[in-house]
Amino acid sequence: MSHRIVRRIRRADADVVRTLGAQGVATIHEAQGRTGLMRPYMRPIYPAARIAASAVTVSCQPGDNLMIHAAIEVCQPGDALVVAPTSESTDGMFGELLATSCRAHGILGLIIEAGVRDSADLTAMDFPVWAKAISAQGTVKASAGSVNVDVVCAGAFVRPGDVIIGDQDGVVVVRREAAAEVARLGAARIEKEEKSRRRLHAGELGVDFYGLRAKLAELGVEYVDEETEM
Amino acid sequence: MSHRIVRRIRRADADVVRTLGAQGVATIHEAQGRTGLMRPYMRPIYPAARIAASAVTVSCQPGDNLMIHAAIEVCQPGDALVVAPTSESTDGMFGELLATSCRAHGILGLIIEAGVRDSADLTAMDFPVWAKAISAQGTVKASAGSVNVDVVCAGAFVRPGDVIIGDQDGVVVVRREAAAEVARLGAARIEKEEKSRRRLHAGELGVDFYGLRAKLAELGVEYVDEETEM
Amino acid sequence: MSHRIVRRIRRADADVVRTLGAQGVATIHEAQGRTGLMRPYMRPIYPAARIAASAVTVSCQPGDNLMIHAAIEVCQPGDALVVAPTSESTDGMFGELLATSCRAHGILGLIIEAGVRDSADLTAMDFPVWAKAISAQGTVKASAGSVNVDVVCAGAFVRPGDVIIGDQDGVVVVRREAAAEVARLGAARIEKEEKSRRRLHAGELGVDFYGLRAKLAELGVEYVDEETEM
Amino acid sequence: MSHRIVRRIRRADADVVRTLGAQGVATIHEAQGRTGLMRPYMRPIYPAARIAASAVTVSCQPGDNLMIHAAIEVCQPGDALVVAPTSESTDGMFGELLATSCRAHGILGLIIEAGVRDSADLTAMDFPVWAKAISAQGTVKASAGSVNVDVVCAGAFVRPGDVIIGDQDGVVVVRREAAAEVARLGAARIEKEEKSRRRLHAGELGVDFYGLRAKLAELGVEYVDEETEM
Amino acid sequence: MSHRIVRRIRRADADVVRTLGAQGVATIHEAQGRTGLMRPYMRPIYPAARIAASAVTVSCQPGDNLMIHAAIEVCQPGDALVVAPTSESTDGMFGELLATSCRAHGILGLIIEAGVRDSADLTAMDFPVWAKAISAQGTVKASAGSVNVDVVCAGAFVRPGDVIIGDQDGVVVVRREAAAEVARLGAARIEKEEKSRRRLHAGELGVDFYGLRAKLAELGVEYVDEETEM
Amino acid sequence: MSHRIVRRIRRADADVVRTLGAQGVATIHEAQGRTGLMRPYMRPIYPAARIAASAVTVSCQPGDNLMIHAAIEVCQPGDALVVAPTSESTDGMFGELLATSCRAHGILGLIIEAGVRDSADLTAMDFPVWAKAISAQGTVKASAGSVNVDVVCAGAFVRPGDVIIGDQDGVVVVRREAAAEVARLGAARIEKEEKSRRRLHAGELGVDFYGLRAKLAELGVEYVDEETEM
């Protein structure tokens, strides 16, 4: 139960991470059986934010960014910081200076179940962040925590090296060891959806297309031509 | 109390719907005596979203979009889907494939007291949606519900065929049978506001313009030149 | 305890206000010892909103904008309205007509712990507003309140004439009499941060730069090369 | 769209109301097809609160209890007030004096989508209230509203004369004209549940009792003896 | 702007504090013009909690109770701690050991805009607490703060030595220098309410008693005997 | 990623579980380094609720209690159900019939990140439940899920067989393999606290007792006798 910083973690294959990033959060979430999604209060700080990266996890005291500084040292290009404070807070634990440091080390972005500040600067830098609040409230650098340990962030369990995908729909976590398989399932899903899209675009109805008429009948849903007064 | 899909509903006159759309939510809400407004947690998923349409209502299990598919079949061009799950949920019950299907049938947009996904795609398509959350969490197609029955959506009572107007200020419902009268009252209000705007723009004060000085005096509000220490 | 409108207040020096505006909320909040920040639910209604102004405060009944009208008369160019209803509400107490009136009198923007409406118009006018909700729900003009008295707005204590700075990170209040000193401290902070930025940009680590290695050791945080299975 | 007070409403049969009250909220909600439930933020102000009554509805300005006073006059013994402000508020619109007046007229309790005060007194009086907040914040008596019109209260549509049942599980609304039928279905449900209770109490499993083993198999849920490491 | 602990504060007269305590939160809030009420999310941790005391204020880092310990030393019997963290938190900053220490020094209770723990023990001790959460999450003793400075707690401005009254309806703050006058106004209000209570108990209607019939007519509220179908 | 029900799990020693239950949530949370606490919105449905049990975990669709039924079969006396729906919901997924079934099988209580119903009956049975809502909203028995897999419940990571302790302060999870060690650390903590309690009860100050005077000085907190006007 002591605090520790783990220097080396295993990461998913870079091509797989890239593929998952192109598939997007909704597709991946479906592809892996609707697991790994963070709670919907995790929002990107600007609309165009997108990320696909390997997670370097940070467990820390809320309102204290000491461990975020410590985490940057063990990151590699292509990583994202996943910061999980030990209790609820909206303090702005990360800002433009930390983003500058991240960028200097190839860190792609930040997922934090707390607040961030300098949000206009982060947007101008195109440094993608998913957070639960925007707040100028600053932090101390005083409390112990851990880097690259298992964390729960916004309701999702994240292991160091897991793949993190974020876009406008939120953030999803893919287990490192399942990443290639999920990417394959995601590709299959995209292909299938492309066919659905063409048929729906042509005007075919979902109730026919997905064979739902029988389901509706079985559930006892009746069709009536016009509502009559009760 | 059985579940049913009502095929034919009466709709308001298309010109009236268009007029209401041009007037906007705040004006209409005032024009009809400050009624029919949905709760402010219903937000457009992109800033430019606007809609004026006839409501096809959907009552369904949260996390289940079977009845949305069923509803599309009974829509006409110019309709909007108004989806009211039977209990609270933020699941993403609607995404880009359903929007593609909606568009193929002339459906103008979606009002949903739940979540939506593929929000970047919906924005790119300019398919307007007002929702209470954005979430990649997908849904099943398994539970009975009803289409074109009375529903309560985000605190507003909606009947099939009612006019739905949505913009940056939220969503307002106009009773179908009152639509023409509300449009007339809205037009009068806009004309009156244009006069107010000119006078206020010219520097006239609201306290003079609206005759509020007497009110302030009657309420016992005192003017003092400078605050003295208590 | 009677309601009153105070006509004359002292304001901070205009150059100091301008300087504070250029420094931004996060810097100022730090410069004055992390005080004066409003709660993070106060959000700008459009991303580019920025303000630096002297506060004319309004204490009023929620859902009643009589006192906002009264407040405009005692404003000077360069002021901002800070509206604090006496209990919680999301009603849209301010809209485009009031903004037109404000602008005619040189009022720079609005901070309101309630809702606003006509948000698309306010955005088009570039009239900056920080609010807790957007809602078309209109208001009456019926209840007594006060102008230029001490108020608590979104958790921050505001005195008439205090300097209000707002940007994407939220809203911070600077005591009028401390404004020049805070601006000086803010400038020092910006200078110091510029140096930090250059070093971090060059790849120096925060743990070295801020001397945090000793802190980590003192706190008992251990470095391990690789996680071993528990 | 004018404001009005409707003096006479139809009510459900008193015996039916009493029967529904004995069945409780969860049973009734099931019996009528899971409709009519208010949102779960409506909580009783003390644990023993229970009510079964005919609704006298009040639509009013938040923070204004004028129409509650007006409503008391048109109530009969056995009624409950159902108060729906036109926008969100937590103000304490009802207290011990109003409860004293209600009791003098045989009014059984209060359902209010806002706050109440004097909660200790209301508890001591055993005057049951379901509210969304407890707040000492008082109100004015200044704005028009309506009594005995259709309202939406906490997400449920309520017509004057509908039956209101409240207990520890929340509040449910039964359409007046459906009350007898719902009471009959509720009684059947209670009888059926009593049988289930006996069998479950005796140790029979729900998976057997409700025939769920086939369902689990059909859904592809596998049984494994022990988790093996992934 | 440095942190400080102020040893001596002025307090209101003990008899006045006692009188205010007997009057209760709702009465006092009315008596002083509906000011000074904390937000309704401040709830007593057990139903019978009541307090009337002089405020010793604490401004501190969330999740850090160092300054609470420091505050106890400067308290006198009859005081209450009013703790306002500088940003939002639900951490349990106070528990049974601190309550034991408080009681040893005659401190009557706690108002805290954060969490508390050991809630069952605090209840057993009858040590009254108003808080925004109950949470076992512990705290550090590491950050500077201040004692007996002006604070904003749950939306209310509190000065050291102000009178704090708490009961089931929430918490209200009375300015120390206004306490005697507020107690006098509260007593008058109670007397007046006793008369109202007798008349309402006897069945007199509020619309007659408060003279509201004219108001209703003036506002255009119409009486109709029965609702006719629209 | 398929759904599965794991029949056999390892559990902690029954004596250790009992010891942890006697220590309580706050003590255990401290003893294990402030980890494993569920979010504070998880509240007991009645004040006297207490539990110490081995976790049988359930991952399920919100609003669907099929998997709860399936889980009961694999429970042993002394277990608690820990139910984690895959997305947010307040539906009442558990009621008195399920509690009757649980009791027949020796299951001690329920932790559920959703709603429960029949709360008065559950209280009367003294069947302890920690939930995020009370709601009569019933559920279907239609969707696949898993039993005895790793879940995230209310922000805490729970493995099958972990020890769950719940009381008035919330819910904490102890890793099965760490249970004995945590119980030992908890006992040490209780002993130490008993000494602190005696000294604090005798009037010794925390600032002396915990040696905080040096800390305050080091942090630059100044003592002043009386506040002078700024």
Confidence of residue A226 (pLDDT cuts 50, 70, 90): confident
Pick from C40, C43, C224: which is nearest to A4 by CB? C224
Mean pLDDT, rounded, of chain B: 95
> F122 vs C209, which has greater pLDDT?
F122
What's chain E's average pLDDT? 95
pLDDT of residue F227: 73
CA distance A220 to B104: 28
The answer on pLDDT for A9 being more than 60 is: yes
Mean pLDDT computed over D60-80: 96
Is B219 in the D-facing interface, judged by CB distances under 8 Å?
A: no
Alpha helices (runs of H) in chain B, residue ranges in sequence order: 14-23, 25-31, 66-73, 96-104, 119-124, 179-201, 206-209, 213-218
pLDDT digits (tens, 9 = 90+) for D74-94: 999 999 999 999 999 999 999
Using an 8 Å CB-CB cutoff, list chain B residues near D1. Answer: 32-33, 35, 178
Residue A52 pLDDT: 98
Q: What is the percentage of chain F residues whose pLDDT exceeds 90? A: 93
Asked if B103 contacts B125 with a C-beta cutoff of 8 angstroms, the reply is yes
Helix (H) or strand (E) holding A147: strand A146-147
Over 50: is that where the pLDDT of E15 sits?
A: yes
A14-185 has CATH 3.40.1190.20 classification: no
Pick from C144, C137, C185: nearest CA to C16: C185
Shortest distance, CA E63 to any CA of chain A (angstroms)? 8
Q: Is the pLDDT of residue C11 over 80?
A: yes
Please report, rounded to a whole number, the percentage of residues in chain D having pLDDT higher than 70. 98
- B34 closest CB neighbour out of D34, D86, D152: D86
In whole angstroms, give the CA distance from residue A42 to residue D5.
46
Cα of F59 to nearest chain B Cα, Å: 15
For E96-104, what is the mean pLDDT? 97
- Chain D residues within an 8 Å CB radius of C137: 86-87
The number of angstroms, rounded, from the C-alpha of F209 to the middle of its chain's C-alpha atoms is 31
Amino acid letter, residue C78: G
The answer to whether the Cβ–Cβ distance between B142 and F137 falls below 8 Å is no
Name the burial class of residue D1, with classes exposed (0-12), middle (13-18) and buried (19+) by CB atoms within 10 angstroms of its CB.
middle
Q: Are E151 and E82 in contact (CB under 8 A)?
A: yes
A221–B142 CB contact, under 8 Å: no
Run of H or E including E104: helix E96-104
Distance, in Å, from the CA atom of B22 to the CA atom of B50, rounded to the nearest integer, reads 9
Contact F80, F55 (CB under 8 A): yes
A230: confidence class by pLDDT, cuts 50, 70, 90: very low
Residue F90 near chain D (CB below 8 Å): yes
The arithmetic mean of pLDDT across residues E68-85, rounded, is 98
Query: What does C124-150 look like in DSSP terms, one character per residue?
Result: HTT--EEEEEE-----BS----EESS-
* B157 to B39, D44, D55: CA distances (angstroms): 11, 25, 18
Confidence of residue A228 (pLDDT cuts 50, 70, 90): low
- β-bridge mates for residue F60, sequence order: F85
Query: Are F20 and F29 a contacting pair, CB within 8 Å?
Result: no
Distance from CA of B88 to the nearest CA of F (A): 6
- Taking the domains of chain A in order of start, what are their residue ranges? 14-185
Residue C1's pLDDT band, with cuts at 50, 70 and 90, is: low
Test B4 with A205 for CB contact under 8 angstroms: no
CA distance D5 to chain B (A): 16
Interatomic CA distance for residues A157 and F152, integer angstroms: 7
**pLDDT at residue A140 above 90?**
no
Q: Is the pLDDT reported for residue D1 higher than 70?
A: no
Residue C50: CB atoms within 10 Å: 18
Q: How far apart are CA A1 and CA D15, in angstroms?
A: 63
Question: Mind listing the pLDDT tens digit for each residue in C51-97?
Answer: 999 999 999 999 999 999 999 999 999 999 999 999 999 999 999 99
Residue of B nearest to A219 (CA): B144
Q: Do A155 and F152 touch (CB under 8 A)?
A: yes
Q: Chain C within 8 Å of D89 (Cβ-Cβ)?
A: yes
Is E88 part of the contact surface with chain C (CB cutoff 8 Å)? Answer: yes
**Predicted pLDDT of residue C227:** 74
Token pair of F100 as six digits: 């009757």
Top-confidence range, A41-45, D60-64, D207-211: A41-45
* Helix (H) or strand (E) run with residue A220 in it: none
What subunits make at least 3 CB pairs under 8 angstroms with B? A, C, D, F
pLDDT score recorded for residue D230:
44
Question: Residues of chain F whose pLDDT is less than 50?
Answer: 230
User: Which residues of chain B does D87 touch, with a Cβ-Cβ cutoff of 8 Å?
Assistant: 37
What's the confidence (pLDDT) of residue C226? 84
**pLDDT score of C229:** 52
- Contact of A74 with chain F, judged by CB distance below 8 Å, is answered with no
3-class DSSP state of A153: strand
List pLDDT tens digits, range D101-126.
999 999 999 999 999 999 999 999 99
> Which ipTM was obtained for this model?
0.94
Give the residue on F whose Cα is nearest the Cα of B137. F87
Helices of type H across chain A:
14-23, 25-31, 66-73, 96-104, 119-124, 179-201, 206-209, 213-218
Q: Confidence band (pLDDT; 50, 70, 90) for B199?
A: very high
Q: Of the candidates B129, B139, B160, B55, which has an alpha carbon nearest to the alpha carbon of residue B92?
A: B139
Amino acid of residue D25:
V
> CB of E78 within 8 A of CB of E17?
yes
Question: B68-109 pLDDT, tens per residue?
Answer: 999 999 999 999 999 999 999 999 999 999 999 999 999 999
| Count of beta carbons in the 10 Å neighbourhood of residue C220 | 10
Mean pLDDT confidence for E129-151: 94
CB of C51 less than 8 A from some CB of A: no
Among B136-145, C179-188, D155-164, whose mean pLDDT is lowest? B136-145
B134 touches chain A (CB under 8 A): yes
Alpha carbon dihedral F206, F210, F214, F215, in 10-degree steps, equals: -90
Asked if B33 reaches chain D (Cβ–Cβ under 8 Å), the answer is yes
Rounded to the nearest integer, the mean pLDDT of chain A is: 95
Contact B62 F89 (CB under 8 A): yes
- What's the pLDDT score for residue B230? 44
CB contacts of C33 in chain E (<8 Å) are 1-2
What pLDDT sits at residue E224? 95
- Provide the shortest C-alpha distance from residue E25 to chain F (in Å): 25
- Global pTM reads 0.95
The nearest CA of chain B is from the CA of D32 a distance in Å of: 7
Q: What's the rounded Cα separation, in Å, for the pair B88 and D131? A: 18
F191 versus E1: the higher-pLDDT residue is: F191
List the structure tokens of F227: 């506040």
The whole-number pLDDT of residue D229 equals 52
Q: Do the beta carbons of residue D89 and residue C61 sit within 8 Å?
A: no
pLDDT of residue F138: 87
By C-alpha distance, which of A83, B188, D167, C39 is closest to F120?
D167
Interval D134-140 mean pLDDT = 92
